[in-house]
């Protein structure tokens, strides 16, 4: 039996089980998150990913231009005056609160457009920076034009990461949800993607998994949530077999 409480972080827990394959370690984590959320939610404060978007002190305009020209070439040279480059707008659905696409100028909702247009924002930032004194502090530029604060922080932060923004103009006429969802939904276990139109994609989760009536002991990878009120020597809140 393994006592989870003896470890203070996920890293310590996995290090003690480094002899297992990486896939096995990920399965252990998945099972814990599914079975005992009240025990593992506290670990979200200890993950090693910093999601803060920031600008360091003392940097000048030229520093930001260098980041844009090095990592955002895919965005800064797009001509957004061309209709095809701004064909779509993204908004949040009322019923499911999920991102949706609409044709700009033809469908309602553009007034509630989501800020998913990173390419367009980076493009506008670059055009605004070019005529500016390259030795001016970025902080001074932001104070005078606060509308660029958010994208400036994103460009600096993500541009200096090994894996930053997805290099794609999501507003272009040829953009399909498939292009983004293959990356996003694969993290949730999606294994088959079937685009049904230019607006939505049908996916398959847990392909080959048995139906509930077909699940018997030791026949399926992930355990079922135990009935703790009737538990008799099985899993407990702080132990896994």
In a domain, 73, yes or no: yes
pLDDT band at 206, cuts 50/70/90?
A: low
Are 122 and 160 found together in one domain?
Answer: yes
Q: Choose one of 159, 174, 189: the last residue of a domain.
A: 174
Are 72 and 160 found together in one domain?
Answer: yes
Are 85 and 43 found together in one domain?
Answer: no
According to the model, what pLDDT value does residue 126 have? 98
In a domain, 218, yes or no: no
pTM of the model as a whole: 0.65
Mean pLDDT taken over the chain: 80
Are 167 and 66 found together in one domain?
Answer: yes
According to the model, what pLDDT value does residue 230 have? 60
The tally of domains found in the chain comes to 2
Are 41 and 101 found together in one domain?
Answer: no
Are 152 and 88 found together in one domain?
Answer: yes
In a domain, 195, yes or no: no
Are 6 and 44 found together in one domain?
Answer: yes
The pLDDT > 70 percentage for the chain reads: 74
The pLDDT > 90 percentage for the chain reads: 39
- pLDDT tens, position by position, 165-189: 888 999 999 988 777 776 666 666 6
Q: Which residue has better confidence, 197 or 52?
A: 52
In a domain, 11, yes or no: yes
Are 116 and 150 found together in one domain?
Answer: yes
Are 35 and 125 found together in one domain?
Answer: no
Assess whether pLDDT exceeds 60 at residue 156.
Answer: yes
pLDDT band at 236, cuts 50/70/90?
A: very low
Are 7 and 78 found together in one domain?
Answer: no
In a domain, 18, yes or no: yes
Are 39 and 94 found together in one domain?
Answer: no
Assess whether pLDDT exceeds 50 at residue 233.
Answer: no
Secondary structure of the chain in HEC code, one letter for each residue: CEEHHHCCCHHHHHHCCCCCCHHHHHHHHHHHHHHCHHHHHHHHHHCCCCCCCCCCCCCEHHHHHHHHHHHCHHHHCCCCCCHHHHCEEEEECCCCCCEEEEECCCCCCHHHCCCCCHHHHHHHHHHHHCCCCCCCEHHHHHHHCHHHHHHHHHHHHHHCCCCCCCCCCCCCCCCCHHHHHHHHHHHHCEEEEEECCCCCEEEEECCCCCCHHHCCCCCCCCCCCCCHHHCCCCCECCEEC
Q: Residue 75: give the domain boundaries.
A: 61-174
Are 92 and 148 found together in one domain?
Answer: yes
In a domain, 181, yes or no: no
* Lowest-confidence pick of 7-21, 92-106, 141-155: 7-21
In a domain, 134, yes or no: yes
- pLDDT tens, position by position, 70-88: 999 999 999 999 999 999 9
Choose the most confident range, by mean pLDDT, from 121-125, 182-186, 208-212. Answer: 121-125
């Amino acid at each position: 039996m393994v006592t989870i409480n003896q470890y203070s972080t996920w890293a310590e827990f996995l290090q003690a089980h480094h002899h297992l394959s990486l896939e096995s370690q990920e399965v252990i984590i998945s099972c814990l998150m599914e079975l005992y959320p009240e025990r593992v939610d506290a670990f979200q404060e200890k993950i090693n990913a910093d999601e803060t978007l920031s600008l360091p002190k003392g940097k000048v305009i030229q520093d930001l231009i260098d980041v844009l020209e090095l990592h955002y070439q895919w965005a800064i040279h797009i001509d957004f005056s061309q209709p095809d480059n701004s064909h779509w707008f993204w908004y949040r659905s009322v019923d499911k609160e999920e991102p949706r696409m609409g044709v700009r100028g033809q469908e309602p909702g553009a007034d509630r457009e989501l800020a998913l247009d990173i390419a367009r924002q980076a493009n506008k930032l670059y055009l605004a920076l070019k005529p500016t004194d390259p030795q001016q502090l970025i902080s001074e530029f932001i104070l005078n034009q606060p509308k660029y604060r958010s994208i400036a922080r994103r460009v600096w932060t993500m541009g200096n990461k090994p894996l930053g923004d997805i290099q794609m103009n999501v507003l272009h006429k040829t953009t399909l949800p498939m292009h983004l969802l293959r990356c996003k939904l694969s993290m949730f276990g999606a294994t088959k993607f079937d685009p049904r139109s230019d607006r939505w994609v049908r996916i398959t989760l847990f392909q080959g998994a048995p139906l509930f009536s077909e699940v018997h002991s030791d026949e399926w990878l992930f355990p079922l949530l135990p009935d703790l009120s009737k538990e008799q020597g099985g899993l407990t809140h702080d132990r896994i077999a």
